């Protein structure tokens, strides 16, 4: 079956080779999908809605690196693509429980002009149908017909003048927000690209932050647009079947969901003379995305197309990709015994080689595998009668206990996956709970515990470091570090417990590769000696926490209301001012 999927993917890309490629971007993460931008996932977000905690907002972005002035054929969703948002809420049931499917139609309201908008008429005008499956994709019901995809933000004459749409772009954009027949709020249209990263530095052999007196880090996605699919979904729709009407705690396991997005095309496309295109055959997945940066910075280039053709549920059975998480390439550039000297930007990032005088997590080492079967693991998630087979699969796989579960299962509220607060120096002891998004039903997905309240975006405690910041507070702030009780710590709702628009995922993931999660649970950095040091907050830990790419926020503020992303950049401004009128 997988071979058929891969063969279909190759056929599609060959047939689409006439499509123009976009500028280089981390979004264009695999060789084949780089030639098919309309089907290219760029990012997925899932978070408890900050203005309505009874709902969860899921955002899937497509079509990377859009120039705001990219006419005359301005960007829009593809007609022959199934854009899908997948949700898993029950580890006991294979596959997705809920799927939302967007399909688009395009038309020219005035084919007599070369302009995209003229005299109230719009060309390449897109509308969509939104369907929902609640039975694992067996049956789909239409929950919204003729949804409006707002016009591209071309410029003031096209939008605001009497010879254009005679409106404001704010009105055009917000008029596209729609209500479904089943209680969701939906949006599909252009938006500012919310991801922020120094693309030039990161992919220049890890030069982030950029080194040298005259080198300045910059957001490589600033002033570019994407196309956004956004859904605001009631928690009651998403929770596990049979779950209580309200969560029992803020880490209720029945309120954990996994979210991923995909794009699929018909297996065959035939180009006929003129403008006729005939699509036929079954739909084949050509792109997918869950956790950020997986296919960009974890999977090597020779396996990226393979990854895009598979689903998260194939990953647990097909373990060919696991080795890239057990021994990630990025870790080699944080290890002085390997290639750290070649990447000076990563100098603050170092991995535990002798944590607590016993545990080495550098590539090829054993990590915690030496404890396999030891009675010290009894009652922990690493015990064989719990999840030891998954989390301690063998020697030479040091990151099977931290990086692999973050991407493949989520993290359970079991020792050792609790903060070191209250552990008394024993990392295997029960500590302060701060995460439970465990859903061991597949591979790469964003996993979110919907019971965790949102941190107010205007709070002084809000941090783009997500769970890393929550761990810091739980370990060091007297308000939380004085006890080992379960309590809400600001940013417990942040990445990798879901993903908020504001979360600095590049920084968090680089810190995670550098072992910060291990430190949070009590496997401290090598310069901590419990016989000598009063506090494990050593220079090694502070160095990792202080690491920055120097690009820590989006180029424009996010909105306070759904769909939360900023409106798209206008194409006529010299400095690309993001207009809202």
Report pLDDT digits (tens) over 143-199. 999 999 999 999 999 999 999 999 999 999 999 999 999 999 999 999 999 999 998
**Above pLDDT 90, what percent of the chain?**
83
**Confidence tier at 382 by pLDDT (50, 70, 90):** very high
8 has pLDDT over 50? no
CA atoms within 13 A on the CB side of 514: 27
Residue 566, CB-side half-sphere exposure with 13 Å CA sphere: 22
HEC-encoded secondary structure of 132-195: EECCCCCCCEEEEEEEECCCCCCCHHHHCCCCCCCCCHHHHHHCCCEECCCCCEEEEEEEECCC
What pLDDT does 17 receive?
Answer: 34
Higher per-residue confidence, 272 vs 192: 192
pLDDT at 384: 95
318, 321, 327, 333: CA torsion to nearest 10:
-170
What pLDDT shows up at residue 449? 98
Of all helices (H) and strands (E), which one includes residue 62?
strand 55-66
Mean pLDDT for the stretch of residues 199-207: 91
**pLDDT at residue 3 in the model:** 43
- Does residue 218 have a pLDDT over 70? yes
Average pLDDT over residues 209-228: 92
CA pair distance 521, 48, nearest whole angstrom: 25
Query: If you count them, how many residues does the chain have?
Result: 581
CA atoms of 276 and 279, how far apart (whole Å)? 10
516-574: pLDDT as tens digits: 999 999 999 999 998 888 889 999 999 999 999 999 999 999 999 999 999 999 999 85
Contacts of 42 (CB under 8 A, 6+ apart): 27, 61, 62, 63, 64, 193, 195, 226, 289
pLDDT score at 29: 77
Check: CB of residue 415 under 8 Å from CB of residue 428: yes
From CA 507, how far away is CA 552, in angstroms rounded? 8
Q: How confident is the model at residue 23 (pLDDT cuts 50, 70, 90)?
A: very low
Indicate the range of 316-320, 417-421, 471-475, 561-565 predicted with least confidence: 316-320
Would you say residue 28 has pLDDT above 90?
no
What does the pLDDT read at residue 245?
94
Q: Which two tokens stand for residue 481?
A: 């570090």
Q: Is the pLDDT of residue 25 over 80?
A: no
Cα distance between residue 37 and residue 65, in whole Å = 9
Percent of the chain at pLDDT > 70 equals: 94
Distance CA 225, CA 191 (A): 6
Task: Give how far the C-alpha of residue 46 lies from the chain's centroid of Cα atoms, to the nearest Å.
Answer: 8
**Per-residue model confidence (pLDDT) at position 7:** 41
- Backbone dihedral angles phi then psi of residue 334, each to the nearest 5 degrees: -115, 10
Structure tokens at 374: 């030891």
Cα-based torsion angle of the residue sequence 212, 214, 220, 222 in order, rounded to the nearest 10 degrees: 140
- In the predicted model, what is the mean pLDDT of the chain? 91
449-488 pLDDT, tens digit each: 999 999 999 999 999 999 999 999 999 999 999 999 999 9
pLDDT the model gives residue 217: 93
């Amino acid at each position: 079956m997988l071979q058929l999927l891969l063969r279909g993917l190759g056929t599609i890309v060959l047939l689409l080779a006439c499509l123009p490629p976009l500028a280089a971007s981390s979004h264009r993460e695999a060789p084949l999908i780089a030639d098919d931008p309309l089907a290219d996932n760029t990012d997925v977000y899932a978070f408890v809605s900050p203005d309505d905690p009874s709902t969860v907002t899921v955002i899937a972005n497509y079509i990377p690196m859009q120039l705001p002035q990219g006419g005359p054929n301005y960007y829009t969703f593809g007609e022959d693509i199934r854009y899908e948002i997948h949700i898993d809420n029950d580890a006991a049931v294979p596959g997705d429980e809920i799927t939302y499917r967007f399909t688009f139609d395009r038309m020219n309201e005035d084919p007599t002009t070369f302009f995209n908008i003229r005299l109230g008429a719009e060309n390449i005008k897109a509308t969509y149908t939104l369907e929902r499956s609640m039975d694992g994709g067996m049956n789909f019901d239409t929950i919204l017909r003729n949804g409006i995809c707002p016009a591209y933000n071309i410029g003031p004459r096209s939008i605001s003048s009497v010879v254009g749409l005679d409106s404001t772009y704010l009105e055009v954009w917000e008029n596209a927000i729609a209500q479904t027949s089943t209680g969701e709020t939906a949006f599909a249209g252009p938006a500012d690209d919310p991801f922020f990263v120094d693309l030039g530095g990161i992919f220049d052999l890890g030069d982030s932050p950029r080194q040298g007196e005259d080198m300045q880090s910059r957001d490589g996605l600033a002033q570019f647009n994407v196309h956004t699919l956004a859904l605001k979904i009631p928690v009651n729709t998403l929770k596990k079947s049979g779950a209580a009407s309200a969560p029992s705690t803020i880490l209720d396991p029945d309120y954990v969901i996994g979210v991923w997005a995909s794009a699929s095309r018909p297996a065959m496309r035939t180009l006929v003379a003129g403008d006729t295109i005939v699509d036929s055959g079954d739909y084949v997945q050509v792109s997918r995305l869950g956790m950020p940066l997986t296919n960009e910075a974890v999977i090597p280039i020779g396996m990226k197309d393979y990854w895009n053709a598979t689903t998260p549920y194939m990953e647990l059975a097909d373990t060919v990709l696991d080795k890239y998480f057990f021994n990630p390439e990025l870790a080699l550039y944080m290890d002085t015994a390997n290639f750290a000297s070649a990447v000076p930007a990563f100098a603050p990032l170092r991995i535990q080689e002798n944590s607590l005088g016993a545990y080495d997590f550098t590539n090829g080492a054993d990590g915690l595998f030496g404890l396999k079967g030891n009675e010290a693991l009894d009652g922990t998630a690493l015990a064989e009668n719990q999840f030891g087979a998954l989390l301690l699969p063998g020697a030479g796989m040091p990151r099977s206990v931290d990086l692999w579960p973050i991407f493949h299962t989520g993290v359970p509220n079991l020792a050792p996956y609790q903060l070191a607060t209250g552990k008394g120096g024993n990392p295997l002891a029960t500590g302060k709970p701060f995460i439970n998004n465990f859903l061991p039903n597949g591979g790469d997905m964003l996993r979110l515990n919907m019971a965790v309240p949102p941190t107010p975006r205007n709070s002084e405690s809000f941090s783009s470091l997500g769970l890393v910041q929550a761990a810091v507070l739980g370990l060091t702030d007297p308000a939380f570090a004085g006890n080992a009780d379960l309590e809400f710590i600001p940013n417990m709702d942040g990445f990798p417990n879901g993903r908020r628009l504001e979360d600095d995922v590049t920084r968090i993931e680089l810190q995670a590769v550098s072992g910060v999660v291990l430190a949070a649970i009590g496997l401290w950095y090598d310069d901590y000696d419990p016989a000598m040091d009063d506090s494990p907050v050593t220079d090694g830990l502070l160095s990792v926490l202080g690491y920055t790419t120097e690009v820590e926020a989006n180029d424009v503020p996010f909105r306070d209301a759904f769909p939360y992303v900023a409106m798209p950049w206008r194409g006529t401004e010299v400095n690309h001012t993001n207009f809202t009128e």
